Structure 1
């Protein structure tokens, strides 16, 4: 037994050594990859508060930005936190598909929407942090796409909470209103985030954060109202295994909201968090933990509350919510297209001033 354990530890050590050699191998393959630069050398929209070094140079070829996945810079951990999250979500989806009939059971479609929306926001986040450094135009475009992913995730959260987590009393109050309002708030959240990013050049940082956080906060309160009601009645809920995961996703989301709005570590240790320790990195980790808790809670509700939600929702509701999911996506894409026209005009006017 001891021999087997030592053999596995030895193999793990060899694997870790091989992983550590990846940056050196990349340097041999692409020795011309430039190093990072300081904040004064990049446009204002790229600069993060209290992050002074580790910025990648602009206008390199695409290969450089893809290979920068393995380079040390101030976006490295922002990329990897959600890249690993994306892969974990793919594995989670495969595991769910083994027991959940996502094709023939319409009642499972809200759960599928949640997982797909989580994949969308993690994937778009990875793309934004990886490729958004190529140029100012790419920076705006990829981060606007990231905000589409956020809006989709907000809508996916609303669907599972209204479909699986809602109590009959709250369902009677908001039936016919809840999902249209959730769809509208998702679109407004996308618009607020895009406008805050667009005004990066002219507004103080706290004003931009307010523009990005307030619409998302209103959407969050509305989308989670069924969960809040469940949590408030915890003592009378009996043995409900989903409640602990609902509580976890609320706690994680409130925590990551704090780190999104407040660059705590960077402000306390300016210049020392350029690679690791950024509040946005912590925000990524907490948001992904929130997502995992939410998926687990929704899966447990899907399994344990079928008698209730199948009585509240007919088979056509799930199809309607899927159609609204597509509609939210199309509206958010239209918002991004409109904002990109403004961005192009802004960049053209800056070029003329030079």
Structure 2
């Protein structure tokens, strides 16, 4: 009588060797004393991935539990949600690609849709910011130059998101009185300046990590970002002040994004709760995680509010602003993206030169 074996067949030795190279066993996480000071977070004592491993190890660490796991997955899931929600909104709007009309007014060829182009740029800035943040948090232990480059890229993404947010709010969420005021006239240039300052401050916070203390670092990153946010939400500030938040879903969502951002700013400035019990909140619950989750929820609330404002005011956007203004404002988005990228490249070169001569 033959015996049937239920054990899986053994793989050929060459295939096993290839699999070991492609899917290496990840080393366990270590304590803060096992990594250089530049990779440490204040009051977080464990959960650090070893420095200097091959790229594939850090890619596979996406499925490993470490002190960056929550932040990486928060970025990735949020980027997936924002993109999926936008595509669903496009389908509900009747199909096509917002920002581009597949058939022009004369019936021939594609043409730019200036009415919806700011919304498309806003969503692109959100997805770009979240993707850059996920890449930075997942891959930064590779080496110190890689860490610097990735976090400078993350600063560019955050600065671009700030201007994309300002552009969309000024077009879809502002009232005519605000648009015609001095604030409305200077709004986008001021938003561009603040997004550049925020990006530059974030880059500078990463250039000389050994020469900064915790309070200065958090203030340098949070201050310009908070100023940019307060300017960006000025188009809806009057609505939030005058209208009851229960009067419409859009107003409620705008109010919710403000509350979530201010709460996140508190955790960005204050290393709580880990400062009261170092080591207890290493994997889940330290301030960087809490602030990131709150900022992500604020962005999701903001997107939902903008989608509702877009649906409400879409018909009158071109009539109110004019196609030329909308196209110029969107061209400003490209100019801001180029200036942020150029600034990060210059500061990266300066930072690498400073490290080589140290």
CA RMSD, Structure 1 to Structure 2 (Å): 2.0
Give the 3 Å change call, closer, same or farther, for CA 270–239 of structure 1 in structure 2.
closer
Pairing partner for 1:266 from 274, 296, 304: 274
Provide, for residues 222-246 of structure 1, a one-character-per-residue CA deviation record: whole Å limited to 9, x for no partner.
Answer: 11111111111115x9954310111
Matched, 1:102 2:99: yes
Deviates more, 1:181-190 or 1:208-217: 208-217
TM-score, length of structure 2 as denominator length: 0.85
Deviation per CA, 1:162-200, whole angstroms, max 9, x where unpaired? Answer: 111112222111343211111111011100111112132
C-alpha separation in 2, matches of 1:198 and 1:99: 45
The one of 111, 121, 124 aligned to 2:119: 111
Q: SS of the residue aligned with 1:266? A: coil
1:49 is the counterpart of 2:42: yes
Residues 18-41 of structure 1: per-residue CA shift (max 9 Å, x gap): xxxxxxxx9997454222222122
CA spacing shift, 1:347–1:300, aligned 2, 3 Å:
same
Contact 1:165 1:230 in 2 (8 A): no
**TM alignment of 1:241-252, pairs within 5 A:** 241-252=249-260
Deviation at 1:308, TM superposition (A): 5.2
Q: How does 1:74-113 map to 2 (within 5 A)?
A: 74-100=67-93, 101-104=98-101, 105-113=113-121
- Per-residue displacement from partner, 1:59-92 (whole Å, max 9, x unpaired)? 1111111011111211111111111111111211
Structure 2 residue aligned with 1:38: 31
Aligned counterparts of 1:183 and 1:153: Cα–Cα separation in 2: 11
User: In structure 2, what is the equivalent of residue 149 of structure 1?
Assistant: 157
* 2:331 corresponds to 1:323: yes
Structure with the larger helix share: 1
The two structures have a TM-score, normalised by structure 1, of: 0.86
Residue 115 of structure 1 deviates from its aligned partner by 1.1
The counterpart of 1:61, out of the listed 50, 54, 57, is 54
Correspondence 1:192-341 to 2 at 5 A: 192-235=201-244, 239-306=247-314, 309-341=317-349
* Partner SS state of residue 126, structure 1: helix
- Cα contact 2:76–2:131 (8 A) shared by 1: yes
Q: Distance in 2 between matches of 1:102 and 1:308?
A: 16
Aligned length: 324
* Structure-2 change in CA distance of 1:62 and 1:29 (3 Å): closer
Shift of the alpha carbon at 1:159? 0.8
SS in structure 2 of the partner of residue 82 of structure 1: helix
Alpha-carbon separation, structure 1, partners of 2:164 and 2:120:
9
Aligned partners of 2:256, 2:288: CA distance in 1, in Å? Answer: 20
**Contact map agreement 2:160 2:336 (CA 8 A) in 1:** yes
User: Equivalent residues in 2 for 1:129-168 (5 A)?
Assistant: 129-168=137-176
SS at match of 1:275: coil
Residue 187 (structure 1) aligns with: 196
1: CA distance between counterparts of 2:240 and 2:270?
27
The 8 Å contact of residues 199 and 208 in structure 1, kept in 2 or not, is answered as: no
The answer to whether the 8 Å contact 2:179/2:185 transfers is: no
Deviation at 1:51, TM superposition (A): 0.6
How far apart, CA to CA, are the structure 2 residues paired with 1:333 and 1:42? 30
**Distance in 2 between residues matched to 1:36 and 1:343, nearest whole Å:** 28
Supply the distance in 2 between the matched residues of 1:319 and 1:288 (Cα, whole angstroms): 29
Task: Report the alpha carbon displacement of residue 325 of structure 1 after superposing the two structures with TM.
Answer: 1.1
Larger Rg: 2
Question: Structure 2: how far apart are the matches of 1:229 and 1:309?
Answer: 19
Could you tell me whether the CA contact under 8 Å between 1:27 and 1:33 is conserved in 2? no
